[in-house]
Amino acid sequence: MSMREIERNVAALKDGYDERIEYRIRVNGDFEERANTVRMAGLLEQLRKVAIEGGRSPAGRAARRPPNKPGSQPPGRTDGLTLLDEITGEVYYWVDRVLMESGRDRTLGLSPMPALLDALVAETRLLEDTHPALVADIADATRTWVRRARRLLGHDESYVMLEERVCGECGGALAVARDASTAVRCVGSPDGGGCGARYERDTWLGLLVGGGEAA
């Protein structure tokens, strides 16, 4: 079970996954529960994109940020970059640990991401029978990486539909956590999944509370 979990978690981090997004939409004055399946990029790529780009406006442009000066918010999001760096460092640690236990060439652990994640899976599989405790620890680590990334990206929240707003990338419907604590996400239409676009909370908060203009 531990090895399968490692493979599943690494795939979510590196290759992407299908995400079922559940949300509520108002129909004839009442709310109905809806769901769409969206193909998401790997969690590490999503973190990298958030760290570099920050939010986007409803028109699909990068959200405008104040210039870099004392007291201003820099472009992108440092929390995404910090988590990405932490996960990368831990991946290097566990690959080195596995190579040391197996007596294999530890220079393999100098590979760049995402090849390093492939090495983590391949080398851990070789120790599945002889080092079950180590494999279980690595499964715990990969589970933590996925959980932390999903939490930062807002993927585990209950969503409601935004009215009178559509995705600037594909024209699909948009949804956000009921308490407006997350980025707005494209959920597409009943005929097709969303494009995966997300608009950061600071870009949309004014609209969600009934005032202000999007950046």
For the chain, 215 residues long, give each residue's pLDDT as a single digit of tens. 799 999 999 999 999 988 877 776 667 777 777 777 778 889 999 898 888 866 443 333 333 333 333 333 444 568 888 999 999 999 999 999 999 999 888 887 788 888 999 999 999 999 999 999 999 999 999 999 999 999 888 777 777 777 777 888 888 888 887 777 777 888 777 666 677 777 876 666 654 554 333 33
| Residue 215 belongs to some domain of the structure | no
- Looking at residue 77, its pLDDT comes to 64
Beta strand ranges found along the chain (DSSP E): 17-27, 30-40, 159-166, 173-177, 184-188, 198-199
Model pLDDT, residue 134: 97
As for how many domains the chain has, the answer is 1
Whether 26 is covered by a domain: the verdict is yes
Structure tokens at 44: 């590490």
Q: Which domain holds residue 79?
A: 2-208
pLDDT at residue number 213: 35
List all residues 6 or more positions away from 126 whose beta carbon is below 8 Å from its beta carbon.
Answer: 102
pLDDT the model gives residue 208: 53
Would you state the pLDDT for residue 209? Answer: 54
Rg for the chain, CA atoms, rounded? 20
- Say if 124 falls within a structural domain: yes
| Residue 213 resides in a domain | no
The token pair at 112 is 């760049």
Q: What is the pLDDT of residue 191?
A: 65
Asked if residue 214 belongs to a domain, the reply is no
